Amino acid sequence: MATVARSNQPDAAPAEGADRRERPLVKRHRLSTRIWHWINALTVFLMLMSGLMIFNAHPRLYWGQYGANFDQAWLEIGSTADAGFLRVGSLRVATTGVLGYRARADGSVNRRAFPGWATIPSDYSLSAGRRWHLAFAWVLALGLIAYWIASLINRHAWRDLLPRPAELAPRHLWQEIKDHARLRFPTGAAALNYNTLQKLSYFGVVFVLLPLLVLTGLAMSPGMDAAWSWLIDLSGGRQSARSIHFICAMGIAAFILVHLIMVVLAGPVNEIRSMITGRYRLPAEREPRP
């Protein structure tokens, strides 16, 4: 309460200036990390949207080597005469107006799985979707390899992204989950280090989801199958590769959503500035709990 009372006094501005001097701008992100972040952000968005266009051509997923209209799909987005639905296994959810069935202003019905605003191109074109997807797949794959090499050289992967054994203790993880739920983010110098949840998320995306996306994408390419037939065997079949590819893509989409929410909650100006200039203003130290 005393702090609030002081903020209404005439010397509030100097106090704020003093507070900024006590919270210096420090270096947080390397140039290689910042470049890869922004190139990858654009690439992933373009690939997700063009990938949804490709999925619209056959909005069903199967396991194994084969799958067609009359085979049992484990995931399907479709429509009946007057409703849309999402089916995963035996679970069926109505999605009218969102997925599978959308009424247009002119009275016609759009029965594509995903709406035009979520796909590239917005109008249905499987060939254009594939061209967009394959063009940026090279950017994603080569950028990922370059980031791996840079991370190994500057030890970013092992020093900043790999959790230490003590950080994986159940008690520690549970405390971080509770702190995140209460929006109690690290302050002071502690904010420069990734917490365990961030490390697990970033490590999972960079070293699990993105590599799986690339490998399963290659497994679906007839040209690559002829040269590297082991990709199909490793994926468990062409349709399994497509399913794994879709699951990884949705996992990355979920990561992006959570990431953006956390950036907003943690202070978007400071967070975005650190990813553009590399400079980050340390958050004020939190007062100790009574």
**pLDDT tens-digit profile, the chain (290 residues):** 333 333 333 443 444 444 555 677 888 888 888 988 999 999 999 999 999 999 999 999 999 988 888 889 999 999 999 999 999 999 999 999 999 999 888 888 999 999 999 999 999 999 999 999 999 999 999 988 988 888 888 776 677 778 888 888 999 999 999 988 888 888 887 788 888 998 899 889 988 999 999 999 999 988 887 888 888 999 999 999 999 999 999 999 999 999 999 999 888 999 999 999 989 888 877 655 54
How many residues in total does the chain contain? 290
Alpha carbon distances (Å) from 201 to 59, 194, 207, 209, 251? 28, 10, 10, 10, 11
Q: Are 79 and 172 in contact (CB under 8 A)?
A: no
Cβ proximity of 74 and 62 under 8 Å: yes
- For residues 86 and 100, the answer to whether their CB atoms sit within 8 Å is yes
**What is the torsional sign of CA 37, 142, 254, 117?**
positive
- pLDDT, position 288: 53
Res 261: pLDDT: 93
Is 62 in contact with 239 (CB distance < 8 Å)?
yes
Q: Please give the span between the terminal C-alpha atoms of the chain, in angstroms, as a whole number.
A: 14
- List of residues 6+ apart from 185 with CB closer than 8 A: 179, 191, 265, 266, 283
Whole-number pLDDT of residue 183: 83
pLDDT at 9: 39
> CA distances (Å), 1 to each of 101, 249, 251, 288, in order?
54, 48, 44, 15
DSSP 17-44: HHHHHHS-EEE-S-HHHHHHHHHHHHHH
Site of tokens 């890869």: 36
Q: Kindly list the structural domains of the chain, giving each domain's residue range(s) and its CATH number in brackets, ordered by start.
A: 25-58+119-281 (1.20.950.20), 60-111 (no CATH)
